[in-house]
């Protein structure tokens, strides 16, 4: 059982998911009716504690700091707990029927040791992921300066993609995909000649044909990064339209990866609300009206709804400054 727990923990990289899995596994392993994982500065993760308020309050007072298991009573329950990690976590089990044995204490100690390793890995993974995103952003920023986009586009769209994806209730994996994809979506422009990329005049049909290759070229580049399959899909499809009139595959509606549907709306919003060489920026209100007008044709209505929610919330907290005449 400890072996199974250890294997399961090895594959989890999100800390809260990790705690939940540990609880479910150890409840089974040690015949407990409920349990909780407490980590300094984080919300308690608990399972099977019906009178949770009271029991959790009692657990908080125990404050186990060491690796030596603690056995005692919490109200009607027999309880067993042990600390893990750098003295900031503890795992507890409770049951009504009988006290915990020495052997059960030893088993929980083993689980706690695995938990400490998994917690360490999860924190390492989080910092590694941050570094990867920073490296990718630097690469995309180099491209941004080449196609004349004003600075800050990547950072702004990345923040907005995260907020909109969370508002849509997407999974943490999908939020992560959206944030990577929005940073990387135009990376394929690296293969488009400057004469086309920076041309201010209207592109000819041949030039458009070359320009339209950038999603595929981007997907080929991103596809080389292991574990980026969903990001690759979003990059490939970021010029698809909800009504099927986009490119390169003329996908429709939900057939377009959700990351791509997010990028198309967020990228359009950011482009509209910032100055470009050929036109002045629209206000937030004007851009929102423009998105609304194209909801259901160019853009996914669910994305526009979430984006509008996020923007209205921003409006409450940081109202957009009125523009001076002539600015």
Sole window of 25-33, 44-52, 70-78, 185-193 interacting with Fe ion (rule: CB under 5 A)? 185-193
Q: Which one, 8 or 190, has the nearer CB to Fe ion?
A: 190
Rule CB under 5 A: choose which of 15, 104, 186, 300 binds Fe ion: 186
CB of 310 to Fe ion, least distance (A): 22
Q: Which one, 85 or 191, has the nearer CB to Fe ion?
A: 191
**Residues touching Fe ion, count (CB under 5 A):** 1
CA-to-CA distance for 56 and 59, rounded, in angstroms?
5
CA-to-CA distance for 215 and 234, rounded, in angstroms?
9
Q: What burial class does residue 11 get, using C-beta atoms within 10 Å of its C-beta: 0-12 exposed, 13-18 middle, 19+ buried?
A: exposed
Q: Which one, 163 or 186, has the nearer CB to Fe ion?
A: 186
Give 219's contacts (C-beta < 8 A, 6+ positions apart): 188, 232, 233, 235, 236
Q: Which one, 38 or 184, has the nearer CB to Fe ion?
A: 184
CB of 31 to Fe ion, least distance (A): 57
DSSP letter, residue 147: T
Q: Which one, 15 or 186, has the nearer CB to Fe ion?
A: 186
Tokens representing 301 are 């209505």
Under a CB-based contact definition with an 8 Å cutoff, are residues 199 and 172 in contact?
A: no
CA-to-CA distance for 15 and 129, rounded, in angstroms?
14
CA-to-CA distance for 211 and 113, rounded, in angstroms?
54
CB of 95 to Fe ion, least distance (A): 58
The alpha helices in 79-169, defined as continuous H runs, are 102-146, 153-167
The residue whose Cβ lies closest to Fe ion is 186
Instruction: Please give the backbone phi and psi of residue 79, each rounded to the nearest 5 degrees, phi first.
Output: -125, 150
Under a CB-based contact definition with an 8 Å cutoff, are residues 133 and 179 in contact?
A: yes
59 C-beta neighbours (distance < 10 Å), count: 23
Sole window of 33-41, 164-172, 179-187, 280-288 interacting with Fe ion (rule: CB under 5 A)? 179-187
Sole window of 37-45, 80-88, 129-137, 182-190 interacting with Fe ion (rule: CB under 5 A)? 182-190
Sole window of 29-37, 180-188, 243-251, 280-288 interacting with Fe ion (rule: CB under 5 A)? 180-188
Q: Which one, 122 or 264, has the nearer CB to Fe ion?
A: 264
CB of 295 to Fe ion, least distance (A): 20
Contact set for Fe ion, span 189-218 (CB under 5 A): none
CB of 287 to Fe ion, least distance (A): 18
Under a CB-based contact definition with an 8 Å cutoff, are residues 38 and 92 in contact?
A: yes
CB of 155 to Fe ion, least distance (A): 18
Q: Does the protein bind Fe ion through residue 144 (CB under 5 A)?
A: no
Strands (E), the chain: 34-39, 45-47, 70-74, 77-84, 89-95
CB of 135 to Fe ion, least distance (A): 21
CB of 183 to Fe ion, least distance (A): 13
C-alpha count within 13 angstroms, C-beta hemisphere, residue 177: 21
Question: Given the rule CB under 5 A, which residues bind Fe ion?
Answer: 186
């Amino acid at each position: 059982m400890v072996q199974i727990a250890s294997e399961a923990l090895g594959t989890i990289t999100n800390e809260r998911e990790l705690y939940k899995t540990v609880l479910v596994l150890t409840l089974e392993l040690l015949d407990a009716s409920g349990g909780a994982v407490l980590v300094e500065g984080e919300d308690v993760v608990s399972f099977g504690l019906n009178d949770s308020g009271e029991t959790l309050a009692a657990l908080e007072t125990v404050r186990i700091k060491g690796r030596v298991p603690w056995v005692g009573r919490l109200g009607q329950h027999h309880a067993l707990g042990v600390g893990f990690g750098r003295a900031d976590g503890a795992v507890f089990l409770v049951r009504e029927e009988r006290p915990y044995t020495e052997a059960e204490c030893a088993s929980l100690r083993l689980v706690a040791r695995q938990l400490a390793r998994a917690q360490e890995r999860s924190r390492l993974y989080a910092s590694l992921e941050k570094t990867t995103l920073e490296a990718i952003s630097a690469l995309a920023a180099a491209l941004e300066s080449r196609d004349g986009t004003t600075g800050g586009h990547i950072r702004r769209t990345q923040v907005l993609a995260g907020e909109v994806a969370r508002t849509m209730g997407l999974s943490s994996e999908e939020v992560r995909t959206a944030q990577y994809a929005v940073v990387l979506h135009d990376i394929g422009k690296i293969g488009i000649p400057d004469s086309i990329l920076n041309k201010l005049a209207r592109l000819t049909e041949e030039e458009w044909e070359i320009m339209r290759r950038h999603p595929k070229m981007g997907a080929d580049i991103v596809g080389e990064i292991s574990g980026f399959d969903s990001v690759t899909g979003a990059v490939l499809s970021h010029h698809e339209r909800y009504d099927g009139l986009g490119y390169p595959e003329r996908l429709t509606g939900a057939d377009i990866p959700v990351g791509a549907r997010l990028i198309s709306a967020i990228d359009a919003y950011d482009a509209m609300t910032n100055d470009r060489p050929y036109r002045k920026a629209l206000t937030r209100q004007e851009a929102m009206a423009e998105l609304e007008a194209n909801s259901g044709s160019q853009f996914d209505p669910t994305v526009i709804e979430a984006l509008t929610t996020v923007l209205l919330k921003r409006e409450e907290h940081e109202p957009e400054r009125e523009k001076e005449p002539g600015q």
